Amino acid sequence: MIFIKKRKKSIDKSNIYAFFLSVFSLFSGIIGYNLSIFQNQDLASSYIYSLSFSFLIQMILSSVLNYRKNAILSRFKYHINIRNSILQFVFLNLIITMTLIIIALLFVNRSIYDLVILFLFQMIFSYLQILTFNKSIFFQLKNVELFLKIQFYGSLVKVTLVLILVFYFKLSFWGLIISNIFTAIAISLLYGIKFDELTENYKLGLKKLKLINCVFKVEGFLRSYRGYSEAWMLTTVISVLNFLKFLKPTELEILNFSVPYINTISTQFRQVFIKFERESYLKMLNKYKVIVPYFTLLPMFLIILWKNKFILIFEKLEFYSVLNIFNDNFLLLVSFLLFLLPLTLGYSYIDYAIKRNYYIFLVKKVTTMFILFAVVLLIYNFSKANYIFIILPLIPTISIVLNRKYLVEKYI
């Protein structure tokens, strides 16, 4: 294995890795999406549909890994290797099936061809992430520094691939998903995953497939939901709004544009403040530390303050694809998100809670979410509140904030 070996005691560099991981991930995710939507705007909705559907499939199938997840904290190897092998077997066969469907579509109907291929690529990306699930979870719990170090090197690979495939070759969303796939391959190699392991896991998955009924449970699905909830709910909300045409075209354009920003900011916030998340969950977070995450609002303040100067600079450089960043609605949306996220600390670990506590949180969160959707859509339709539509993609996050008292697990 490349990084997983005994090391001498050294200074904890996890904060350094977390910072640069955040910078590179933000750059590759946001710039990559900006360039992609500028190069091929027609493909944007299909890309978002494929994301939403693939997140749903991942969430359902990953329930195999997340059943009785609270036991992982005390017994990490609780059937986890067998479960992972079963999931690898299912995903790989799903990918083979999707490939056959694509071949059939070549002769039947090409109208949804791009969408199906995008979905296939998303499934390949998901499969590669599953390969490292065990080690990723283990090091998040036992060695955060090593976890962040590997993720940091992965972010370097992704930045390089985005610059080559999207910026230089102009492959738009195809370049974006291909860069994700090869980044996942690089991370697998950094974790020391070998081809022999894949074949052995496939065989084990086939052999133990009969056990899937023992671990494919509602509890597993509900725990799996937490890991995908933010990204899945965002893409699902945007997909529904695109399909039903609730909003004006200009408003939909802003929300479509915001998808990678919200996703990337939320993901990187949780990685950068992963220690804060765990401390908050265990009710060990110093009350003064809560102020630290709010420093993420500083860049937004500077962008708003010097907005016109930035616009002039980007127009001179002919970087027209990023000008939507300076839209007032978009700036308000991102600023509100950065204000909300520190109030959700602990959410990354809530799926490790005992079943009763986790279920109480989920019921209250989902109920709050539906009520908020109804209220916001009513206000949007029957008032002149022009900015209210930006609340829609943030409703899942707001529902976490309104139930934040349940993000503490006294059981541990």
Q: Is residue 102 part of a domain?
A: yes
In a domain, 411, yes or no: no
Cβ-contact 198, 88 below 8 angstroms:
yes
Query: What is the Cα–Cα distance from 157 to 18, expressed in whole angstroms?
Result: 16
pLDDT in tens, 313-351: 988 877 776 788 899 999 999 999 999 999 999 999 898
Establish if 297 belongs to a structural domain: yes
What is the number of domains present in the chain? Answer: 1
Q: Does the pTM of the predicted model rise above 0.75?
A: yes
- 3 domain-assigned: no
Q: Which residue has the higher pLDDT, 394 or 323?
A: 394
Can you tell me which residue has the tokens 């496939």?
202
Residue 411: pLDDT band with limits 50, 70, 90: very low
**What pLDDT is attached to residue 412?**
42
Per the structure, the complete domain to which residue 126 belongs is given by 14-406
Q: What is the mean pLDDT of the chain?
A: 86
In a domain, 95, yes or no: yes
How is residue 294 written in tokens?
A: 């709010």
Look at the block and give the residue holding tokens 């709010």. Answer: 294
Is residue 200 one of the residues assigned to a domain? yes
225-274 pLDDT per residue, tens: 888 889 889 999 999 998 888 899 999 989 988 998 899 899 889 988 88
Cβ distance 47 to 181 under 8 Å?
no
Tens digits of per-residue pLDDT, 190-220?
A: 999 988 888 998 998 988 887 777 667 788 8
Report yes or no on 124 lying in a domain.
Answer: yes
pLDDT at residue 108 in the model = 67
Residues 223, 69: contact at Cβ < 8 Å? yes
* Averaged pLDDT for residues 393-405: 95
Q: Taking residues 150-178, report their average pLDDT.
A: 95
Residue 202 domain-assigned? yes
